[in-house]
Amino acid sequence: MSTHQIKLIVGLGNPGPEYEKTRHNVGAWLVDQIAHQSNENLKPEAKFFGAIAKTNHFSSPLFLLKPGTYMNESGKSITAVANFYKIPVESILIAHDELDFEPGTIRLKNKGGHGGHNGLRSTISHLHTNDFLRLRIGIGHPGNKDKVTPYVLSRPNIHDTQRITTSIDDGISIIELLVNGKIEQACHQLHSDN
């Protein structure tokens, strides 16, 4: 597994208040929470097609990004930031919603396909590689593939919201390790807790 230090954390989601609290935006929830804990504000930047912040809250400087595009164009924003700050693909962590995991489960994964996730599909397409780290935040599955779109675009109930929020806290607890390039240690800690 990669030993690269994470320099950019991207929270995938759709822009606008109507999507803010939906399951599809849980990656963005994570980035918002890191910004909040770091006392940083994500500022919209036209050249990055999204909102960005830089924090020194962890042991090394870290960029936080929420693409301002819709999910299927996320890669445009991520590529703009990576190119501007010369951040290698291996130093990017993408936080996203994961249908295959129940709410409360969170997992690190290196490389891999997009699994039908439009945000990951766009990211792989724009970066021309899948060699980045993902933080997969479980949101559960509606049980029927025809119901996936309305499901991910709806808000989780209070019980699921609490479980997702707790898993996001677990994810944030390993950021220091990721920033220091201790990917395997971070995996071990996260996966033994969950």
* Polymer length in residues for the chain: 194
pLDDT higher than threshold 90 for residue 29:
yes
Spatial contact of 11 and 65, defined as CB atoms under 8 Å apart: yes
> Is 191 a catalytic site residue?
no
Range of the domain at 146: 8-193
Reported as a single tens digit per residue, the pLDDT across 69-114 is 999 999 999 999 999 999 999 999 999 999 999 999 999 999 889 9
Options 24, 96, 128, 188, the catalytic residue: 24
Residue 25 resides in a domain? yes
The chain-wide mean pLDDT, for the chain, equals 95
The predicted model scores a pTM of: 0.96
Residue 2 resides in a domain? no
Residue 30 resides in a domain? yes
Q: What are 60's strand-pairing partners?
A: none
Reported as a single tens digit per residue, the pLDDT across 165-186 is 999 999 999 999 999 999 999 9
Residue 55: enclosing H or E segment and its boundaries? strand 50-55
- Tally of domains in the chain: 1
